[in-house]
């Protein structure tokens, strides 16, 4: 995923990160340098308005306002938190924006190159195959529809087969048939233009790069837990759960469904006749185990129907992707507190353990700020944020792969 940087320029850069979910928008100033841990100097987050019933048009309008406020927060609070003697190029001229569902839609497809005689696979051959796909073909594949205003924000080869065999490093090898599994992500053009305009205006940026959180999640898990080959990624945002199935180290399918953490909160609020803020308080107490037995029982009862629906959607998505033929070592999960640990307990079930080589080897790993803490350096208050930490690790890891530093 070395699409972020090119091999030139100063080796220590300050970049702005933005995490756009369906419950909140986060932002951070991150120092990235070759040979060093990423440094999170400042992190801020703004919640999006809670809707009793989800409406995408109203939500999109509130998202733009939240993004502008987060960018302004970084200017006001984040810039002063970066010591001038830190050595990072100042001010930030580049921003990376990561979208969770429903703000983007992911899609996998295969490109096949076949010839009568064996031919050498080169980097140029792969690049030409990717570039050779016309805009019309892109539009035909987009989940938003053939005549929509969506545009691709990412196009990456996640798996390569030579003569039907998986090959991790295909360049330089010969084959008669090359198959490229390509991950693509789309978002509506007006939405992307509005995001870029808001960020460039507030932060005076030279460039705003937009990517999907799901692909970043995959890349970080693969690099940190490199021994894992068969796993599922679950990104549970406020309104949507997005999943990627990985087999033999490659993404083989993605799916999403409209149940998120705010779906659970709506169920609690209805059952108890309370406000969304009070429902969140109940969820916090319940997830921590501090509630009285009777009160916790009533919370569990209110959540039961949504719990069953969420688990059924996870299991159904995996079954459709694999027709029940699945090897599973782990599930990696991201979710807002207090739901991460609670959802991890739900997933640690016999239904998923039966796909493990042995039940004892199966694990569910919520990615929390604590989990990722050994890989980053935090400076300043309120900087521990699992979503921004994942994105900071990606930017830093890509920097390691690009000899000579960043081309910003």
Say whether both 30 and 45 belong to one domain. Answer: yes
Say whether both 164 and 237 belong to one domain. Answer: no
Q: Is the peptide bond before 356 cis (omega within 30 degrees of 0)?
A: no
Whether 92 is covered by a domain: the verdict is yes
φ and ψ of 112, to 5 deg: -115, 130
Instruction: Provide the β-strand partners of residue 119.
Output: 175
φ and ψ of 152, to 5 deg: -70, 135
C-alpha–C-alpha distance, residues 208 and 195, integer Å: 9
Say whether both 171 and 208 belong to one domain. Answer: no
Whether 1 is covered by a domain: the verdict is no
Say whether both 58 and 196 belong to one domain. Answer: yes
* Element spanning 246, H or E: strand 241-247
For the segment 39-55, what is each residue's pLDDT rounded down to a tens digit? 898 899 999 998 877 77
23 neighbors 261 (Cβ within 8 angstroms): yes
CA triplet 50, 54, 60: central angle to 5 degrees? 80
Whether 303 is covered by a domain: the verdict is yes
Write the CATH number for 77: 3.30.420.40
Say whether both 64 and 195 belong to one domain. Answer: yes
Q: Grade residue 133 by pLDDT with cuts at 50, 70 and 90.
A: low
Say which residues have a Cβ less than 8 Å from residue 320's Cβ, sequence separation at least 6. 255
Give the N- to C-terminal CA distance of the chain in Å, as an integer: 16
For the segment 62-116, what is each residue's pLDDT rounded down to a tens digit? 999 999 999 999 988 877 888 877 777 777 888 999 999 999 999 888 899 999 9
Whether 240 is covered by a domain: the verdict is yes
Say whether both 141 and 262 belong to one domain. Answer: no
Q: Grade residue 264 by pLDDT with cuts at 50, 70 and 90.
A: very high
- Of 280, 407, 397, 296, the closest CA to residue 337 belongs to 280
Say whether both 40 and 112 belong to one domain. Answer: no
Determine the average pLDDT of the residues in 127-153. Answer: 64
Whether 361 is covered by a domain: the verdict is yes
Of the listed ranges 31-40, 75-84, 129-138, the least confidently predicted one is: 129-138
φ and ψ of 61, to 5 deg: -65, -40
Q: Grade residue 336 by pLDDT with cuts at 50, 70 and 90.
A: confident
- Of 156, 224, 183, 155, the closest CA to residue 393 belongs to 224
Whether 75 is covered by a domain: the verdict is yes
Say whether both 93 and 198 belong to one domain. Answer: yes
Say which residues have a Cβ less than 8 Å from residue 112's Cβ, sequence separation at least 6. 177, 178, 179, 180
φ and ψ of 51, to 5 deg: -110, 135
Say whether both 387 and 255 belong to one domain. Answer: no
Q: What is the largest CA-CA distance in the chain?
A: 72
Query: Does the pTM of the predicted model rise above 0.85?
Result: yes
Determine the average pLDDT of the residues in 257-278. Answer: 92
- Of 219, 221, 231, 168, the closest CA to residue 357 belongs to 231
Give me the pLDDT at residue 9, please. 46
Say whether both 272 and 299 belong to one domain. Answer: yes
CA 329 from centre of chain? 20
Q: What residues make up the domain containing 30? A: 12-103+190-218+370-401
Average pLDDT over the chain, rounded to whole?
Answer: 84
Number of domains in the chain: 3
Q: Grade residue 138 by pLDDT with cuts at 50, 70 and 90.
A: low
Q: What count of residues does the chain have? A: 408
Say which residues have a Cβ less than 8 Å from residue 32's Cβ, sequence separation at least 6. 12, 13, 14, 15, 38, 392, 395, 396, 399, 406
Q: Grade residue 290 by pLDDT with cuts at 50, 70 and 90.
A: low
Say whether both 141 and 205 belong to one domain. Answer: no
C-alpha–C-alpha distance, residues 79 and 91, integer Å: 8
If phi > 0 it is left, if psi is from -120 to 50 it is alpha, else beta; for residue 163 that is left
Q: Helix (H) and strand (E) counts for the chain?
A: 12, 15
303 neighbors 268 (Cβ within 8 angstroms): yes
Whether 6 is covered by a domain: the verdict is no
C-alpha–C-alpha distance, residues 206 and 94, integer Å: 6
Whether 4 is covered by a domain: the verdict is no
C-alpha–C-alpha distance, residues 306 and 120, integer Å: 53
Cβ contacts of 129-135, under 8 Å, gap ≥ 24 = 129/178, 129/180, 130/155, 130/157, 130/180, 130/182
C-alpha–C-alpha distance, residues 343 and 335, integer Å: 8
């Amino acid at each position: 995923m070395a699409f972020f940087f090119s091999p030139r320029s100063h080796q220590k850069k300050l970049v702005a990160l933005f995490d756009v979910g369906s419950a909140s928008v986060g932002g951070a100033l991150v120092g990235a340098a070759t040979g060093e841990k990423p440094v999170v100097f400042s992190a801020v987050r703004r919640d999006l308005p809670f809707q009793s019933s989800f409406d995408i048009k109203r939500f999109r309008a509130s998202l733009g306002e939240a993004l502008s406020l987060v960018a302004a927060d970084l200017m006001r609070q984040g810039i002063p938190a970066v010591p001038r003697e830190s050595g990072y190029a100042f001010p930030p001229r580049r921003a990376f924006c990561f979208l969770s569902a429903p703000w983007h839609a992911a899609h996998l497809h295969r490109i096949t190159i076949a010839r009568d005689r064996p031919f050498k696979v080169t980097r140029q051959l792969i690049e030409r195959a990717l570039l050779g796909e016309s805009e019309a073909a892109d539009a035909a594949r987009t989940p938003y529809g053939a005549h929509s205003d969506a545009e691709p924000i990412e196009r990456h080869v996640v798996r390569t087969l030579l003569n039907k065999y998986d090959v991790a490093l295909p360049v330089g090898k010969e084959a008669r048939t090359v198959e490229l599994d390509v991950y693509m992500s789309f978002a509506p053009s007006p939405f992307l233009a509005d995001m870029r305009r808001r960020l460039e205006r507030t932060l005076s940026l030279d460039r705003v790069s937009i990517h999907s959180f799901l692909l970043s999640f995959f890349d970080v898990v693969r690099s940190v837990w490199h021994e894992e080959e068969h796993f599922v990624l679950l990104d549970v945002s406020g309104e949507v759960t997005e999943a990627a199935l990985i087999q033999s180290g490659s993404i083989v399918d993605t799916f999403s469904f409209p149940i998120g953490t705010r779906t659970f909160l709506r169920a609690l609020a209805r059952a108890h006749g309370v406000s969304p803020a009070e429902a969140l308080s109940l969820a916090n107490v319940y997830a921590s185990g501090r509630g009285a037995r009777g009160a916790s029982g009533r919370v569990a009862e209110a959540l039961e129907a949504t719990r069953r629906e969420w688990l059924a959607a996870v299991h159904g998505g995996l079954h459709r992707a694999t027709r029940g033929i699945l090897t599973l070592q782990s599930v990696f999960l991201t979710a807002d507190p207090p739901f991460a640990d609670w959802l991890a307990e739900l997933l640690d079930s016999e239904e998923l353990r039966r796909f493990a080589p042995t039940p004892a080897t199966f694990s569910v790993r919520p990615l929390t700020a604590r989990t990722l803490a050994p890989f980053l350096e935090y400076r300043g208050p309120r900087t521990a944020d699992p979503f921004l930490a994942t994105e900071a690790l990606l930017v830093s890891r890509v920097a390691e792969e690009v000899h000579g530093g960043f081309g910003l």
